[in-house]
């Protein structure tokens, strides 16, 4: 039964990872489309001779996507492959650096990091020491 359970968990993790990738890809496409739409509206406004600028979206747009929980889990896993046991604070810094290298913003990283550490792949053999199971 335990083997069947682990197969199901593994399959669900694969599906989760695929869906995370799809969501990030779609978010990027939406941002590109919104940017292009804004450019077209500005061009039409200029051609029609309107002098007042269009209102910008009131919410802040980030040009880079934020890291997801799965992104952070992958970054932590990569760090732990090179160093099997690592202090928590050092792991946080390394994972945050990897996220930045992937072109993601670090906005919300602390929360995603805490969520990611709850993944059963990660263990705490001692206080503030992390390893992979």
| pLDDT, tens digit (0-9, with 9 covering 90-100), for 88-117 | 999 999 999 999 898 888 888 999 999 999
pTM tops 0.75 = no
The segment(s) of the chain belonging to CATH 1.10.10.10 are 62-133
Token code pair at residue 85: 């046991």
Residue 109 has a pLDDT of 92
pLDDT at 85: 93
Mean pLDDT over 82-89 rounds to: 92
Distance from CA of residue 29 to its chain's centroid?
A: 16
CA 127 and chain centroid, separation:
27
More confident residue, 28 or 72: 72
CA gap 77, 72 in Å, rounded:
8
Average pLDDT, the chain: 85
Token code pair at residue 76: 């932590």
Q: What is the pLDDT of residue 46?
A: 85
Cα–chain center distance at 85: 24
Q: What is the model's pLDDT at position 107? A: 86
> What does the chain look like in DSSP terms, one character per residue?
-HHHHHHHHHHHHHHHHHHHHHHHHHHHHHHHHHHHHHHHHHHHHHHTT--SPPPPPSSPPPSSPBPPHHHHHHHHHHHHHHSSEEEHHHHHHHHHHHHHHTT-B-TTHHHHHHHHHTSTTEEEEETTEEEE-
Q: Was domain 62-133 assigned CATH 3.90.850.10?
A: no
Q: What is the pLDDT of residues 27-62, one digit of tens each?
A: 878 888 888 888 888 888 888 886 665 565 555 555
């Amino acid at each position: 039964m335990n083997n069947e359970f682990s197969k199901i968990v593994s399959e669900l993790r694969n599906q989760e990872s695929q869906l995370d990738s799809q969501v990030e890809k779609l978010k990027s496409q939406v941002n590109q489309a919104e940017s292009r739409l804004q450019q077209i509206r500005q061009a039409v406004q200029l051609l029609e001779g309107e002098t007042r600028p269009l209102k910008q979206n009131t919410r802040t747009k980030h040009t880079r996507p934020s890291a997801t929980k799965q992104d952070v889990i992958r970054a932590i896993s990569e760090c732990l492959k090179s160093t099997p046991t690592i202090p928590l604070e050092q792991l946080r810094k390394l994972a945050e650096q990897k996220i930045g290298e992937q072109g993601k913003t670090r906005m919300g990283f602390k929360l995603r990091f805490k969520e990611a550490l709850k993944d059963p792949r990660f263990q705490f053999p001692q206080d503030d020491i992390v390893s992979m199971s």
